[in-house]
Structure 1
């Protein structure tokens, strides 16, 4: 509204300024013609000559003598300061505020027979011109009114979604992430609302993951602590066989180790997720590392009489050797856990176009389709009962995923050809910084 008002005032001033400048030039030219004609005719009666020209072409004339007295009957009262300026040989221009106000006038010196006169010319008030100026002014007022109204409507159209967005951010700051803003608009505001909705959904997912993470940690900690507390109280009983005492102590030891593993895995996962974490890169034989991991896990798979089929090309890779060893240990250890007696596990490795692909396939119980996308989340277990018969806390595959991501690689899981699970890891042969 302020801009429209300034534009109205500025336009009005510029318009009037141009009109007045044009009228001033016309009056000066008319005055010069009057003087030129008078001098060329050689008329002796100056007053009669001026009376004859008065009113010609809408121009009114007034003549002043050296004493500042008007010599014509024309009702044009010019201030004495203007008359004195012209009598002394100068010219003047201003707006006349007499009977017909707001009319411009000019003053020009005239010398006749050694006497100085002041010739003033002004224009005749024109009703048509006044109506035009009034119409233009009225048009400006209409533009100012409707322009302001349209700007207010447009401002509400723009500000209203911003107000909703502001209120939504306040709710989000209070922990409410279930917010959905309307996104029917196709402009920048609509794009912003759509982005906000996407952010709200992602934050809601993160909040749910945080709650689940806290619940899972509490469960994983509470379960062994309950066992340790219960069996510790049982050991206080005096009448207990040596066999029972050894069994209770063994359970306490196992639950303590379980807590220790949980703590180590949580610290490891937190360490990997830190923004400043740096990989300890080196170049080594990946196929040899995989064979060494399988050999290191021999007590687990030999006790279940699992058959290993290893098909590895000679592969050299630039990566963090210790972290990748953790990857293969976690994946193969999981395969051993869920592979039945006398089952089989296939480890394959190939290199093509600077891309390394490692697949580990078992013929165990497999992973349901609807859970394959969630197995890399912290504490996710396909075994919903969380039985302790299968040792684990659901962090192993989360650590695997984090390590693979740090190496700019990818890991996928699918069904094996014999109903088990197949893990496929893709890594660049040379680390991309």
Structure 2
């Protein structure tokens, strides 16, 4: 596992935090406790040094150097005695007391040396006193004893133990943190290979649990998109293959066998109709792709919606008059700000769809009115209707209510998808309902002015 891995980085960061914390704690404890400890040690050394001098003075007839050597050998303090010439008079022990000459001269002059300085490993103090009129300087220092060493050793051991235990806990905690991320990485790798049925199980409620939940939602969305893509490809293939098969079959029939002029014209008519069907399919696919990729921005202008609907009805007159459909109009004067060409495509698609599924001698009604800040258009027919469980799917590309794809009702299944894309781009809504007496009703709501 390299230095770039998250696990390694977490471990190194946490260990670094422990090390820095121990260093800061050591420095802080030194700064906080050194001064009071030093002062206490000074007082203890001075007190014991004066006590040694007092004990010597109370011991009549005792020789000074011999007494001081005995004290140094049995005491926890190391002592050194200097005469007026700053010459050491005692034997050096395991811990030699070696103050600077300036400090010795100061004590010989009669001043106490209370400024503790680490000339060796331990601090020392100097005490002046006189014997038979001669000045002496007594320096006292704490010996290097086992208790002191043991205490330092225990502190070091405790710090090392804290470091090792903390590092072990960090290794375990980092693995627990990284483990779900590794699972997420592996799942993302499988998804990158096209396996969209990946779902991560977790009971966590923290950020990692939320990340897993978001990943599961993304996997479901991608699976749905992949399924839609496959259906789209299959539908496009079907829609293209069907007219191509008809064109190829009738063309071969015309070439391979003699036929009457009437049959020839009939075959050519079918070829032309299937060619037109392919052309419409191609145009609708291009239009749908263009709308989905926002290649044609909305060019808003103010125009009369009721007048536009009348023009669409007139343009589709051959379709509804050929089936002798009664067309009812209830159009209130409504002015909207929208893309006139795109909305014309919406009404053309919806009205053509209504005419297509309305039987001969049926009825189609168009109503337009303003409702608050919205313009509402309702196109109603008395055709075959739309089952309730399919009303949300009819706006998907190539969706058809008639699964058998009856040739009597032609169409590519793209008209409603194009209409919805245009309405969405105008910040409006479109939905389908069923009339109580049968048939379908499509409702479109558009803001009277875009952005309101």
TM-score (norm 1): 0.85
**CA, structure 1 residues 364+109, in 2 after alignment: closer, same or farther (shift >3 Å)?**
same
CA distance in structure 2 between the aligned counterparts of 1:70 and 1:76, rounded to whole angstroms: 16
Q: Aligned ranges for residues 133-282 of structure 1 at < 5 Å? A: 136-237=155-256, 239-282=258-301
Indicate whether 1:71 and 2:71 are aligned.
Answer: no
**CA, structure 1 residues 38+95, in 2 after alignment: closer, same or farther (shift >3 Å)?**
closer
- Which consecutive unaligned segments of at least 5 residues does structure 2 have? 1-14, 107-112
Q: Aligned ranges for residues 107-118 of structure 1 at < 5 Å? A: 107-108=125-126, 117=137
**CA, structure 1 residues 287+183, in 2 after alignment: closer, same or farther (shift >3 Å)?**
farther
Q: Equivalent of 1:388, from 387, 407, 410?
A: 407
Q: Aligned ranges for residues 30-429 of structure 1 at < 5 Å? A: 30=44, 60-65=78-83, 70-72=88-90, 75=93, 77-78=95-96, 82-84=99-101, 86-87=103-104, 93-94=117-118, 96=120, 104-108=122-126, 117=137, 119-122=139-142, 125=145, 127=147, 136-237=155-256, 239-429=258-448
> What is aligned with 1:11?
25
**CA, structure 1 residues 132+171, in 2 after alignment: closer, same or farther (shift >3 Å)?**
same
> What is aligned with 2:12?
none
- Contact kept, 8 Å, 2:77 with 2:140, in 1: the verdict is no
CA distance in structure 1 between the aligned counterparts of 2:319 and 2:389, rounded to whole angstroms: 29
CA distance in structure 2 between the aligned counterparts of 1:277 and 1:218, rounded to whole angstroms: 26
- Larger CA deviation: 64-73 vs 317-326: 64-73
**CA, structure 1 residues 120+280, in 2 after alignment: closer, same or farther (shift >3 Å)?**
same
- Larger CA deviation: 30-39 vs 59-68: 30-39
Give the count of matched residue pairs: 424
CA distance in structure 1 between the aligned counterparts of 2:83 and 2:273, rounded to whole angstroms: 127
3-state SS of 2:444 partner? strand
CA distance in structure 1 between the aligned counterparts of 2:102 and 2:219, rounded to whole angstroms: 79
- Larger CA deviation: 87-96 vs 401-410: 87-96
CA distance in structure 2 between the aligned counterparts of 1:351 and 1:268, rounded to whole angstroms: 29
- Contact kept, 8 Å, 2:243 with 2:278, in 1: the verdict is yes
TM-score (norm 2): 0.82
Q: CA deviation at 1:275?
A: 3.7
Deviations 1:249-303 (CA, angstroms, capped at 9, x unpaired): 1111111101100110011111111145311110011111112211221221122
Q: CA deviation at 1:105?
A: 2.0
**CA, structure 1 residues 319+53, in 2 after alignment: closer, same or farther (shift >3 Å)?**
farther
- Contact kept, 8 Å, 1:60 with 1:74, in 2: the verdict is no
